Chain A
Amino acid sequence: MPPTEPESVQTPTPVTSVDLRKEMAEVGIAEVLDELDRELVGLLPVKTRIREIAALLLIERIRKQMNLNTESLTLHMSFTGNPGTGKTTVALRMANILHRLGFVRRGHVVNVTRDDLVGQYIGHTAPKTKEILKKAMGGVLFIDEAYYLYRPENERDYGQEAIEMLLQVMETQREDLVVILAGYGDRMEKFFQSNPGFRSRVAHHIDFPDYTDDELLSIAEIMLHDMSYKFTDRAREAFVRYLDLRKRQPLFANARSVRNALDRMRLRQANRLFHDLDRVLGVDDVMSLDESDVLASRIFAPSGDGVKKPAGNG
């Protein structure tokens, strides 16, 4: 159980020495970090930052046990990067780390966007925001594309009301919830410039880089493996070419685009197999995506510029 006991029950006597390795093992933090390393492809700078934060939290926890002066830590964060770079996944891991170390009581993540917080008419926003805040208490509030809260072009925008409530809680109830603001790097930067209140309350900025081609291929292979599919060698080569073309299209969303592409390839494979009803299918047949399943993508269309709306059926 997380430290949910009422404070009145007992105050532990301060310790004077702590075995760091034992402490790590006790809170199980190493497993979470290892899991992060194992399960997430790439993201080296992100993983490094998470390790740094985890170290800070662990030491802070030890300092608390020693009854040393511990200003309540500001743990609110911003996760910046392009879509599909793992921000939501990392937020879940982060919540787990915060929970294990006792910085949030429950460790759940409430994932919202502007529409969940901001209302349509006067008096609508405060209850909506309050409702979300209450649901997130004890855990992590993850606000995706947080900059949409702020609409300077509309001076009667209700987003401002939500912003003020958020700032208030981020300041006064730091032990009750951690807020993670997420979105594109450049837009977040602008958002922070016009909302210095947020900038000063966000202690940790983590930038999520785009995946390299090799990383994207690994992600694709892992996803296929999890779904009991695989590339043939020729399909793999074709997919490398696919990635190269797709990345140059607008609205490329890293891992998410990979996932969508794979889903379409499964559809093509199924149709290809369905076409020949006289065939007896083996396990290998239904597991394998072949070159044609990849190459049928409109991205390889001879016009050279792929499709008009690449986010669609590429």
Chain B
Amino acid sequence: MNKLSGKERYKSGVIPYKQMGYWDADYVPKDTDVIALFRITPQPGVDHEEAAAAVAGESSTATWTVVWTDRLTACELYRAKAYRSELVPNTGPGTKTEAQYFAYIAYDMDLFEPGSIANLTASIIGNVFGFKAVKALRLEDMRIPVAYLKTFQGPATGVIVERERLDKFGRPLLGATTKPKLGLSGRNYGRVVYEALKGGLDFVKDDENINSQPFMHWRDRFLYCMEGVNKAQAETGEVKGHYLNVTAGTMEEMYERAEFAKELGSVIIMIDLVIGYTAIQTMAKWARKNDMILHLHRAGNSTYSRQKNHGMNFRVICKWMRMAGVDHIHAGTVVGKLEGDPLMIRGFYDTLLDTHTPQKLEQGLFFEQDWASLNKVMPVASGGIHAGQMHQLIHYLGEDVVLQFGGGTIGHPMGIQAGAIANRVALETMILARNEGRDYMREGPQILEDAAKWCSPLKAALATWKDITFNYDSTDTADFVPVATPAI
């Protein structure tokens, strides 16, 4: 199919997207282009290049039919260009999976409003996912040009300043989510906070659905939590924090809660992904203005990030959230109860932490990405992890991470403080061993046993959770490794 021009191109009617100029195999993306990589499963009978062109068209200037008003614009520039489409390894004829294609689409930067995730996403994932020409569609990765990145604030605080404010260096931070998730009164809730922090955690956290329910209104929670935080700080001489979740029904209510948290001297507040991109960006601006660390719970993401053929990859969320300006984001544990292939998770972590990410196909990083000096986001590992996995956690996740041991702290047989002590001792002893140059991955269990000899809370923790692992296959794995890395 040839590209049409002039009169032919703008004749009323319906012509293929490829012919409308949304496919250009010779196109060389500019440094200032936004590039998106989609995984396309075309409808039977639809040519994959046409499907790619359709996605390019629908996510930029096209509509289903020809419009003459195009000719009042520099439409060549505004048309997104699908410039490459290739079969995804291990799909198509001869495999168990129907054919999928990686389609590379370049967008001129002028298609997007500066500093607006909402606008960027309204284009890239706006209409196109419901498009009939594709059976399934997944946004796998994006390359954001430096020029566009520079229009975003980025993380309000960032890993480096967070550590400086907290005076905690050279080790992962430790946290826990207050449990049970729902039902505790403010007074009882604050007890958990105090015990865990005094025991040795750095942070305690509200859960994503703790907002202001009949059993505990938000002001009560804030007041009692800050009593716990301040008391633990005085008992330990160490900076402590509790992520106060300010998620609410309206922006006005969120501001009110955030202001109250600030008034009470909290170092950190929390929001949920479900509040939406604009609300997140708004809270990031507020956080920067108010010296606040901003924690984001990725509530809801698995509805669209988990299945391999449709939705979007979590690494794209990571990119958008780094641009939007959060300081923390839940990004997987490898060893815990939630979805996560080790290599994929490493890709998320690198996306959040690198100043410059090279292309790493085995981690699902399709593009080299210069982060344009945007602050780094602290990844949070939460869900089904415990002290006995400390060597694996440090090995897979590194030291720039918050390790959240909720059940692993609060469920300790000797109490919450003991649970916190066990986690902190396990962490410090493992960092010490790592720095000494020991093969801590191999010797990990022994290193923990040795510390348990003088630390009875650790001993009890190891005995309680020794054999707890979550061995399920990941659904979201790399397409470019011959054998997917097994979840541990």
A residues in contact with B8, CB < 8 Å: none
A5 on interface, CB distance cutoff 8 Å:
yes
Task: Give A1's nearest chain B residue, CB to CB.
Answer: B437
B436 on interface, CB distance cutoff 8 Å:
yes
Give the number of chain B interface residues (Cβ < 8 Å).
Answer: 2
B residues in contact with A6, CB < 8 Å: 436
A residues in contact with B437, CB < 8 Å: 5
Shortest C-beta distance, B429 to chain A (Å), equals 14
Shortest C-beta distance, A234 to chain B (Å), equals 61
Using an 8 Å CB-CB cutoff, how does the interface string of B266-302 with A read, 1 for contact, 0 for none? 0000000000000000000000000000000000000
B residues in contact with A5, CB < 8 Å: 436-437
B residues in contact with A9, CB < 8 Å: 436
A9 and B437 alpha carbons, distance in the complex (Å): 11
Using an 8 Å CB-CB cutoff, how does the interface string of B404-437 with A read, 1 for contact, 0 for none? 0000000000000000000000000000000011
Task: Give A6's nearest chain B residue, CB to CB.
Answer: B436
A residues in contact with B436, CB < 8 Å: 5-6, 9
Which size class do A's interface residues fall under?
Answer: under 10
4 contacts across the A-B interface (CB closer than 8 A): A5-B436, A5-B437, A6-B436, A9-B436
Shortest C-beta distance, A290 to chain B (Å), equals 56
Shortest C-beta distance, A43 to chain B (Å), equals 39
A6 and B437 alpha carbons, distance in the complex (Å): 10
User: Which of chain B's residues 433-460 have a Cβ closer than 8 Å to chain A?
Assistant: 436-437
A5 and B436 alpha carbons, distance in the complex (Å): 8
Residues of chain B having any CB pair with chain A under 8 Å: 436-437
A188 and B436 alpha carbons, distance in the complex (Å): 43
Using an 8 Å CB-CB cutoff, how does the interface string of A1-29 with B read, 1 for contact, 0 for none? 00001100100000000000000000000
Residues of chain A having any CB pair with chain B under 8 Å: 5-6, 9
Count of CB-CB pairs between chains A and B under 8 Å: 4
A77 and B437 alpha carbons, distance in the complex (Å): 34
Task: Give A9's nearest chain B residue, CB to CB.
Answer: B436
A9 and B438 alpha carbons, distance in the complex (Å): 10
A9 and B443 alpha carbons, distance in the complex (Å): 13
A77 and B57 alpha carbons, distance in the complex (Å): 80
A9 and B436 alpha carbons, distance in the complex (Å): 10
Task: Give B438's nearest chain A residue, CB to CB.
Answer: A9
Which 4 A-B residue pairings sit nearest by Cβ, starting from the closest? A6-B436, A5-B437, A9-B436, A5-B436
Shortest C-beta distance, B233 to chain A (Å), equals 33
A6 and B432 alpha carbons, distance in the complex (Å): 12
Task: Give B436's nearest chain A residue, CB to CB.
Answer: A6
A9 and B447 alpha carbons, distance in the complex (Å): 12
A5 and B439 alpha carbons, distance in the complex (Å): 13
Task: Give A8's nearest chain B residue, CB to CB.
Answer: B436
Shortest C-beta distance, A252 to chain B (Å), equals 51
A99 and B436 alpha carbons, distance in the complex (Å): 21
Shortest C-beta distance, B437 to chain A (Å), equals 7
A146 and B436 alpha carbons, distance in the complex (Å): 38
Shortest C-beta distance, A121 to chain B (Å), equals 37
Task: Give B437's nearest chain A residue, CB to CB.
Answer: A5
Task: Give A4's nearest chain B residue, CB to CB.
Answer: B437
Shortest C-beta distance, A9 to chain B (Å), equals 8
Shortest C-beta distance, A3 to chain B (Å), equals 13
Shortest C-beta distance, B206 to chain A (Å), equals 42
Shortest C-beta distance, A108 to chain B (Å), equals 20
A6 and B436 alpha carbons, distance in the complex (Å): 8
A223 and B282 alpha carbons, distance in the complex (Å): 71
A231 and B436 alpha carbons, distance in the complex (Å): 56
Shortest C-beta distance, A5 to chain B (Å), equals 7
Shortest C-beta distance, B443 to chain A (Å), equals 11
A5 and B437 alpha carbons, distance in the complex (Å): 8
Shortest C-beta distance, B442 to chain A (Å), equals 15
Shortest C-beta distance, A116 to chain B (Å), equals 32
Shortest C-beta distance, B279 to chain A (Å), equals 51
Shortest C-beta distance, A105 to chain B (Å), equals 14
Shortest C-beta distance, A75 to chain B (Å), equals 27
Shortest C-beta distance, A235 to chain B (Å), equals 56
A265 and B9 alpha carbons, distance in the complex (Å): 79
A44 and B301 alpha carbons, distance in the complex (Å): 77
Shortest C-beta distance, B436 to chain A (Å), equals 7
A5 and B435 alpha carbons, distance in the complex (Å): 11
Shortest C-beta distance, B401 to chain A (Å), equals 27
Shortest C-beta distance, B453 to chain A (Å), equals 15
Shortest C-beta distance, A4 to chain B (Å), equals 9
Shortest C-beta distance, B85 to chain A (Å), equals 51
Shortest C-beta distance, B432 to chain A (Å), equals 11
